[in-house]
Amino acid sequence: MKVDKPIRKAVRCYLIKDNKVVVTKYKQGNKKEGYYDIPGGKIEEGENPEQTAIREMKEETGLKVGNLKYKGNMIIEYPNRIFDFDVFVTNESEGETQEFKENTSEWIDIKELLQKEKILSNIMILDRFFIKGLIDDKYNFKMHIQVDEKENILDVKYKLKDNE
């Protein structure tokens, strides 16, 4: 991986229950308008990644999550920048998904989500080939996805690590 690009350290939190996942969808006016994304964001000063995941989930969906499990690292590399995500998963939440100024949030069937035209590359981990690293307690993963500015996936490298 080239390090001549700015790197943004952030988190993503996958809330998954009954083959459904909570997503955000960007509203009009956002440069990612119409795209589905997984809740998460930049780690603020003084926060650890898990605290960030909990805060971002609340800010972007209205849901309070608990019992987060660290699942691995996902690098998403664009032509001129890199996102370095700590990834968490949980199935515990309180509240209802809500609508906000910049996005809506909803529960969506994973298979249905993967068929959508406008999905960000971090949703790829929900594909049946990769999801084991996300939902199976026995594994963690490391993933590197190269994308172009139009969110087209150019290359994927993926490793599962056995926790035992």
Task: Note whether 123 and 36 are within 8 A (CB).
Answer: yes
The DSSP letter of residue 119 is B
Rounded CA-CA distance 164/161 in Å is 9
Q: What pLDDT is recorded for position 3?
A: 63
| Mean pLDDT in order along the chain per 10 residues (164 residues) | 81 96 93 94 95 97 97 95 96 96 96 94 88 88 94 92 81
Q: What pLDDT is recorded for position 123?
A: 93
User: Both tokens of residue 36?
Assistant: 């589905």
Q: What pLDDT is recorded for position 164?
A: 67
pLDDT 10s digits, 106-145: 999 999 999 999 999 999 889 987 888 888 889 999 999 9
Q: Which domains does the chain have, with CATH numbers?
A: 7-159 (3.90.79.10)
Rounded CA-CA distance 51/83 in Å is 18
Q: Is 63 exposed, middle or buried (0-12, 13-18, 19+ CB in 10 A)?
A: buried
Q: What pLDDT is recorded for position 29?
A: 85
